[in-house]
Amino acid sequence: MLGRLPAFSADGILRIKEQLRSDPRPGKIDLGVGVYKDATGATPIMRAVKRAERLLWEAETTKSYTALPGEPEYLAAMRRLILGDDFEAGRVAAIATPGGTGAVRQGFELLRMARPGVRVFVTDPTWGNHLSILSYLGIETVPFRYFDPATHDVDAPGMLSDLAELREGDVVLLHGCCHNPSGADPDAQGWQALIRVINSAGAVPMIDLAYQGFGDGLEADAAATRAVCAACPEVLIAASCSKNFGIYRERTGILLAVMQDAGSRPLAQGALTHLNRQSYSFPPDHGARLVTMVLNDAGLRADWQGELDGMRSQIVSLRGALAQELRRRSNSGRFDFVEAHRGMFSLIGASPAQVASLRDDHAIYVIGDGRINIAGLGMGDVPALAKAMIKVGL
């Protein structure tokens, strides 16, 4: 039986990791895998998380199962982080999930359960796993224009024109901030225009919020999501703690269902809890407990937020340094978009041949679509990257 299984191609990011591992060249640069690296090239455990782990080790008395939806304290702390302290808890159903990917998967499962035959509109481009999971679940996807390769900015007219094709009950999958892979986000007016077209069609927004705190700050990065929740009758939010708490391997995420009609909450909560039971029974708790401790302790939270601000500042500085070096080497401002983008990623417009040349000739590893992880750079890598980008014809 097992010999009849279909063959699956290796994930692009995992393939890059294998190539990197086998590359003996010194000074190779990994701009593919989406993890934050500090000035030394390490992905550190954040100070507040480390302190919380020590406290947890001393205080924890059991490893018994958690609650099916996840611990209430975690769900409440994350609800406040994402939606704000004053948001009405009675309008939110939630489950803890194994990472942001688990939240995305459970969100798609919920949509399919609520509306068999649902169509999901996705930004072109979007994170590869969005398309992979939707395809695996047999959910119809409809791409809509989002990123203009010529301007390296949001294609607002194209986006709104394509979304005019929305029908009642369709879902629009959006990135809450730090759009992956492009790095280009709508401005406040752009978000309001999205809200109007979604509500006019009777569609439902689903927001993937994987990078809160990496764009312009925790509150600023939540502003668009909060505006959508204030204006739309129903919203799904899949959020990750991997990046902003640095707990990638702990697989800590949350799926929120937000509704204007609080009377719908019991049904939504029941469906979400059922999905957890069918998928993995009880969600993992270690990372969720650390996040809860950090968010609910004033001292830990202040230290965490300060370190997160420093991580964001480093990414902003790297963007500025790379844009400046490219400006100097190209004698033009055609790479200024690198500085304007937000979050970890930018699409640099590299063709597959240019991506291959960056890898083969310069030991610089980039995702096949030309996405680079700015957070994977060290300041010392900036000149080499800029030189290589010009050399391959970007």
Of the listed 30, 170, 185, 208, which one is catalytic?
A: 208
pLDDT tens digits for range 300-336: 999 999 999 999 999 999 999 999 999 999 999 999 9
> Peptide bond preceding 283: is omega within 30 degrees of 0, i.e. cis?
no
From its phi and psi, is residue 183 left (phi > 0), alpha (psi between -120 and 50) or beta?
left
Return the pLDDT at 23: 93
The question of whether 243 is a catalytic residue gets the answer yes
Specify the range with the lowest mean pLDDT, choosing from 28-42, 149-163, 310-324, 328-342. 28-42
Residue count of the chain, please give it: 394
- Residue 275 has phi, psi (to 5 degrees) of -60, -40
User: What percentage of the chain carries pLDDT values higher than 70?
Assistant: 100
Domains present along the chain, CATH in parentheses:
10-44+309-391 (3.90.1150.10), 65-296 (3.40.640.10)
Mean pLDDT of 357-384: 95
Whether residue 383 contacts residue 364, with contact meaning beta carbons closer than 8 Å, is answered with no
**In 14-80, where do the E strands start and end?**
29-30
Q: For residue 93, give the nearest of 276, 320, 347, 221 by alpha carbon.
A: 276
The question of whether 304 is a catalytic residue gets the answer no
The helix (H) or strand (E) run that includes residue 200 is helix 188-201
Query: Using CA atoms, how far apart are residues 159 and 154, in angstroms rounded to an integer?
Result: 8
Of the listed 30, 37, 52, 127, which one is catalytic?
A: 127
Mean pLDDT of 275-299: 97
Residue 239 predicted with pLDDT over 90: yes
Alpha helices (H) along 280-351 = 286-296, 298-330, 337-340
pLDDT tens digits for range 9-27: 777 777 888 888 899 999 8
Of the listed 96, 203, 210, 350, which one is catalytic?
A: 210
Return the pLDDT at 11: 72
Query: Using CA atoms, how far apart are residues 239 and 287, in angstroms rounded to an integer?
Result: 14
Mean pLDDT of 266-285: 97
Mean pLDDT of 1-9: 91
Q: Is 180 helix (H, G, I), strand (E, B) or coil?
A: coil
Mean pLDDT of 337-364: 96
Of the listed 203, 243, 363, 381, which one is catalytic?
A: 243
The question of whether 77 is a catalytic residue gets the answer no
- Residue 236 has phi, psi (to 5 degrees) of -105, 140
Task: Using DSSP bridges, classify how beta strands 147-148 and 153-154 pair: parallel, antiparallel or unpaired.
Answer: antiparallel
CA distances from 28 to 31, 105, 153, 211, 382 (A): 10, 34, 29, 26, 12
| Rounded (5°) CA angle 135-370-339 | 120
How many Cα neighbours within 13 Å face the side chain of 31?
Answer: 32
Residue 282 predicted with pLDDT over 90: yes
Task: Give me the sign of the Cα torsion angle 372, 373, 375, 378.
Answer: negative
Return the pLDDT at 107: 98
Residue 214's contacts (CB-CB under 8 Å, 6 or more residues apart) are 177, 178, 221, 243, 244, 311, 312, 315, 342, 343, 344
Return the pLDDT at 15: 81
